Structure 1
């Protein structure tokens, strides 16, 4: 079409003062929109030719200048995409030399159509295992042996994948490229598409005699034990990262990383709240009333290497202690994972009232109640001398 018949700016949907970058982006957008392999319109081929022609003119400063002055930019003296062929540069009206849609997309988006053979040696995946700890192990840390089942380098072929140790041979189907090209004919010409070679699976080479141990993979599954250093103060959900201890990759490639997720079991005596330890002890009613000192086993007592002096802690119970009272022992909690500073040990007292009394005990308690004037339960009086029922009576105007 001549410039008088076609508005190239309108075809691409850009302003007349559009920058080269704006023209390029508009061309990419319109080319993908109206291409016959994408659009279902009957005139998509003609629209695509217009888009191509508009871009050929507007992206070239000299042709654009001629077009803006009202001249014919497609006349003599200007070569098209095919070098002196005008718009037939994509191979003679999209036909003679063949049209490669893959190359068109690559040209627009800067990609490379050829993938090439992929390597047999690749990095392995990361692995995750879980390890259960006691509360003492989590609190004070240790080096713990952990059994894992991962892929390791094949001991038979040392990762080469070949039974006889020979190098892979070039694939005769793809000639070592790792991909094959298929050509389909259409009214636009020949459309070429590429895919991984089915004979070599994209490697570009074939292992003539695969290792019988790993079937050519260069790796096998194997159970092994590793020693994991667990720092003091960890808690459930914490993960330890071990570099290159995960799955060995295909072809004996670099191993991935291993993550050890820690799970701390519940304790019979202690519960953990952040860096503090909490426990509950029962004390007799008489001990709570008179006051006493009790000896409590610490969490350190579960460790063989703990000194005898650290296995126990004395807790003083004051006279008249009530049930639910919480006493604190500093520095007997869990070490902080970062600072190492230990939390506190909280001891909650549960005062026990005797349920079974013999005659002598009952007599002693009755005597105590008489001495304390507690033989009958009377509602506590307010400072105005009125009890609960008296206040209710006043509230209702009685």
Structure 2
């Protein structure tokens, strides 16, 4: 990928095209083998989406904050971070139970015998979604040579000036960028110019995801992901660092898949609904939205503890319709409302209507489930904004 600052609209279009391909797969399955084939195909697609895992490489000289950056991004405990620091390199690390993104701390860069091509071959460069290259001083020729080679082969990367907290007054000044990249000016590299390098340059205090360029750096890497599903995986896995609008859009683009899954994989008849549906699957899917958005009870408890507040101060900000302790009864009651309203699917999802009409419950069943899932994503995202506003007010002393 030539530029890290890829157009977000282009990235969203890539996801739309990915989902269009899934629609074609499901349509072909229905036409060739009916409901059994459709059920098998939608389960395979679900597994494909769940299996996509982004691999992010973190490298640089010794003692520049590589382990700290990974620990902060993944919200690791101090004990886990200590194990990572002393693990043989390359060392993988991911959130327990949620390995959609794996950060790899690579062997340190530098030394008289360092060779970029040998290094990339040894760490298996092709398996990584992107690279984070850290330095706490100026970038050496070895580091910039690595960046130059990554740019040549089309691998996304970010140059990160770490430990920026010790030089706050220099943050984001062009003079500082020139100082950091002076090695590039002295010895120009064939595939990396100063303008390109400055675009890719981020300033981090690796201990604090809320300060400086931590979030913009992660978001730039997400946007530059080489495939739509890898980008989705990064958005979901690092949701608290993600652009909320992009995350919401990515989640909503997949709701027709999950709607069809709920209607053709192990559906059962339920009182009040004129069609069969797998309510347990919908409960799990809706709880998944709550979990990745960080508004489940455990996440709120951790946030409240950090702020030295009772958990209810944050949980009281939740306004979404379904209770915290989700049950199949709650979901069916909500789904019954959407079915009775007979609200059509959004214009962006009209392409799904021909396939929905072939389902046992007809178009109205698929439309109701899609609208329910879209509604929950929207409402939960509003809750996220409310909680963020509350936290900001608490930090201001209000």
Question: Structure 2 length as normaliser, TM-score?
Answer: 0.22
Q: Rg: which structure is higher?
A: 1
Larger relative contact order (C-alpha < 8 A, sep ≥ 6)?
Answer: 2
**Greater share of residues in strand:** 1
**Greater share of residues in helix:** 2
Question: Structure 1 length as normaliser, TM-score?
Answer: 0.22
